[in-house]
Amino acid sequence: MSEGILVLNGPNLNLLGVRESSIYGNRSLADINRELEDMANKAGVRIEFYQSNHEGELIDKVQQAPEQFEVIIINAGALSHYSIALHDALRAIALPVIEVHLSNIYSREEFRHHSLISPVARGGIFGFGPLSYRLAFLAAWEIIKEKKGNK
């Protein structure tokens, strides 16, 4: 296993920057990924990004992750609230998972208040816009350092 972080993004996150900017802000997913790439380069850790609007493609990436990564950061978007299959895939692998949401899911519609990802995640960060991803990266990097024994 190589030292690395997989960042997974689910449905409609490819529309960041143009989709409901009052909720999700004006930053694109590419902008967020560039910031994380810079952080990864400074930390000396490999990072890979994957976005799909298709549940099965995300599940395939999750199942392949243990061979290549040490931590998964995931914003499953709407799949967070109803995908038992994604929940089961994350639960089946032996990797720490960090759940991310740009918005505060608990201040939104009632159906968003429950996440099927949270029970299989080591932790979650939500409500801070793009900062949520940077905070998740810092947590992932700490997990990697902890595994290596260099706190």
* Active centre residues (catalytic): 24, 101
Cα–Cα distance measured from residue 50 to residue 55, given in angstroms and rounded to the nearest whole number = 12
52 touches 62 (CB < 8 A): no
- CA atoms within 13 Å, Cβ hemisphere of 19: 12
114 touches 99 (CB < 8 A): no
What Cα–Cα distance (Å) separates residue 144 from each residue in 99, 115, 122, 137? 16, 25, 13, 10
| Residues in Cβ contact with 33 at an 8 Å cutoff, skipping those fewer than 6 apart | 7, 49
